[in-house]
């Protein structure tokens, strides 16, 4: 199969051969863009792990607040957010990969907005606890 490079092509092969040698209408993506997509997934995965670690550290290492369950109010949302991100990033990776194969615009990711909202609310709760609930020690 001979390729014909064009000036505007991150996508380089106009007819793609699948693993089973059948031709499809999808086009081959430059492998560098797929690598970038993979790294984005891994970056989200590390964000997820950081949230889980932070949630655990808050609930296990901080001294308790005077409000019952105060540490959990901060830590649990972070851990749940980490779990949601881990799954969503995999879904987002596949959406991006499919969009690139079909030469569509990349779909907008809802993850940054979602993360900002949850972390913002959690931070406000944490601030309230620190200011008004103190701790028992």
Partner 1 sequence: MNDQAHPNHNPLERVERDSESDYTEYGNYVGPDPGIAAERTDLAWSRSGVSLVACGIIVFRGMPTITGNASEPIAGSILLTIGIGTWLLGRWSAHRRRGHQTRQRPVATWSDLSPAAYGTVAVGVAGLAVIFLGSR
Strand intervals (E) in the chain: 11-13, 16-17, 23-24, 28-29
Nearer to partner 1, 79 or 129 (CB): 79
Question: What is the footprint of partner 1 within residues 33-72 (CB under 8 A)?
Answer: 34-39, 41-43, 45-46, 48-50, 52-53, 55-57, 59-60, 72
What is the nearest approach in angstroms of partner 1 to the Cβ of residue 81? 9
Q: Which is nearer to partner 1, 87 or 123 (CB)?
A: 87
DSSP conformation class of 23: E
What does the chain come to in residues?
A: 137
Whose structure tokens read 């799954």?
A: 87
106 touching partner 1, by CB under 8 A:
no
The helix or strand, by DSSP H or E, that contains position 24, with its residue range, turns out to be strand 23-24
Stretch that binds partner 1, among 26-34, 108-116, 121-129 (CB under 8 A): 26-34
List the structure tokens of 72. 């959990």
Q: How far is the CB of 58 from partner 1 (least distance, A)?
A: 10
Do 109 and 99 meet the contact criterion of CB atoms below 8 Å apart?
no
29 binds partner 1 (CB under 8 A): yes
Does residue 125 touch partner 1 according to CB under 8 A?
no
Give Rg (Cα) of the chain: 22
């Amino acid at each position: 199969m001979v390729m014909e490079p064009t000036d505007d092509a991150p996508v380089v092969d106009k007819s793609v051969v699948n693993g089973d040698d059948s031709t499809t209408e999808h086009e081959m993506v430059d492998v560098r863009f797929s690598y970038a997509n993979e790294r984005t997934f891994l970056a989200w995965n590390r964000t997820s792990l950081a949230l889980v670690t932070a949630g655990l550290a808050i609930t296990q290492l901080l001294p308790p607040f005077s409000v019952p369950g105060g540490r959990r109010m901060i830590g649990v949302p972070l851990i749940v957010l980490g779990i949601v991100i881990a799954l969503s990033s995999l879904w987002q990776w596949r959406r991006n990969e499919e969009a690139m194969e079909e030469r569509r615009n990349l779909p907008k990711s809802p993850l940054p907005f979602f993360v900002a909202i949850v972390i913002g609310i959690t931070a406000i709760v944490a601030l309230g606890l620190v200011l008004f609930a103190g701790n028992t020690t």
